[in-house]
Amino acid sequence: MNDQNTPGTNSPYEPHRDGDAPSDVEHTRQLPDEPYGAPASTPTGGSSYAGYGRPAAQGQGSQGSQGPQGPQSPWDDGPGSGYPGQGGGYPTQHGGYPVTGGGGDRGEDTSRRPRLSGWVWPAVAALALVVGLVGGAIGGVAVDEWRDANSSPGRSADGFAGVDTVSEAPLPADNGSIAAVADQLLPSTVQILADVENRSLGATGSGFFMDRQGHVITNNHVVEDAAKNNGAIKVVARDGKRYDAEVVGRSAVYDLAVLFVKDAPEIEPAALGASQSLRIGEAVVAIGSPLGLSSTVTSGIVSAVDRPVTTGNGDDLASYIDAVQTDAAINPGNSGGPLVNLKGQVVGVNSAIATTGSSLGGESGNIGVGFAIPIEQVRVTADQILKDGEARYPVIGATVTTDESGQGALIDGIEPGSPAAKGGLKAGDVVTAVDERQVTDSPTLIVAIRTHLPGEEITLTVDRDGDQREIAVTLDSKVG
């Protein structure tokens, strides 16, 4: 079952509802063997959804929990291996997960698309709708576990507003071509080497400069082992020069991390766009260091949007993401690199891939099904990390599983005093929608919740003994 209080940015979900969906996903690790993704979300009514994480309503507090983790990232590997993402797919979690939702202001027009449903990357269960830990803990991970660099010089009291970011990409004359995008983004994209001395831990992945102060965005799974074991983290620029970096903060739930590069070179940061404006079939470009091959550029299209995906590894928090799906070639090592539109703007952070498995027990690589974390979620999480050195995600305080009918998420348990309890949810209720977004299983519920901000009020459509009703719940929050 899914613990609604479990942090979640990386965790697999229940069996895929799409018959042709691959059975394995890798972050630019692989996704768990269990079905890792749910069908692209569809609203139960109307197509207008609030933005990724609307501002919390006045007077609403927020407390959250974390959730299970799922699919693997493309770049996770042992130190010095040169191949990110190895280690096999994460097990898909089944059973009750804490229901959580995370997200933040997208900063763009949010009326065109539904809220991002969230991402799923748990290692044990894909249905972690409840914000909680993969291990089933309702309270979430200890706060100090995530405060890797509370005194980091990379912190900004004003968050995103306090750093020098870019939104427009001044492309050359051949604007709109893949070559122009590559020329613009390659200098801003870096390879990341995260090593742990005398340990078979560490990873190699990708990232990109988000501002002129030296902050780099990447995946949590790329730097997680190094952060936990005092390992060295190096950022390799396009010219091959290496720079020391430290973790400002990271989120296992959203599989994101912010690094601060000491003595950063004078590099123009990547321009940040909006995934909400993406159209299925639109051309996109993936940039990174697959298999240790730095400055690699691949292209493809947007295959789907709002695709619930879960990933995670080991006993860490599950990640649930409302991913942008693409067929651009993404492989181990691409994790943390940018997914870019033809305007030269970053619309997502490459994080997971689906694979058919490998006879060698490793990752089989690209099969044209890759997933990126929407840039709107990246903005929200990075803002929290820059301000506080940690990120928070929304929770309702309930555990959930997928209803046997396949028509919703079954509330398995309610935490006393939680938002779910205060709102009137009861064990046995089947949640079929969050606001106007349809819920078909526990992962889609978790994802839908995590695309909101703590303190926001959401409306759950519930089936109770055959009677349909709407229940308002104000989201709490947890660190993760």
User: Encoding tokens for residue 274?
Assistant: 């909006």
257: helix, strand or coil: strand
Measured CA to CA in angstroms, residue 354 lies from 121, 149, 300 at distances of 12, 33, 16
Q: Is the dihedral of CA 300, 303, 308, 314 positive or negative?
A: negative
Residue of 200, 426, 178 lying closest to 298 (CA atoms): 178
Please tell me the chain's helix, strand, coil percentages from 3-state DSSP, rounded to the nearest 5.
15, 35, 50
DSSP one-letter code for 295: S
User: Encoding tokens for residue 227?
Assistant: 């952060």
Cβ contact 66:97 at 8 Å: no
The question of whether 221 is a catalytic residue gets the answer yes
Q: Give per-residue burial for 291-318: e unless 16+ CB within 10 Å, then b.
A: bbebbbbbbbebbbbbbbbbbbbeebbb
**Which residue among the candidates 73, 117, 335, 351 is catalytic per the annotation?**
335
Element (H, E) at 205: strand 202-209
CA 326 to chain centre: 15
The question of whether 418 is a catalytic residue gets the answer no
**Which residue among the candidates 221, 299, 303, 435 is catalytic per the annotation?**
221
Measured CA to CA, the distance from residue 311 to residue 8 in angstroms comes to 9
Residue of 236, 198, 243 lying closest to 336 (CA atoms): 236
Residue of 236, 218, 221, 206 lying closest to 330 (CA atoms): 206
Cβ contact 36:70 at 8 Å: yes
**Which residue among the candidates 255, 306, 403, 412 is catalytic per the annotation?**
255
Cβ contact 476:453 at 8 Å: no
User: Encoding tokens for residue 477?
Assistant: 């929050």
Measured CA to CA, the distance from residue 325 to residue 41 in angstroms comes to 12
Q: Please report which residue ranges of 186-276 form alpha helices under DSSP H.
A: 220-228
Measured CA to CA, the distance from residue 92 to residue 111 in angstroms comes to 33
320: helix, strand or coil: strand
Measured CA to CA, the distance from residue 326 to residue 340 in angstroms comes to 11
- The residues carrying an active-site annotation are 221, 255, 335
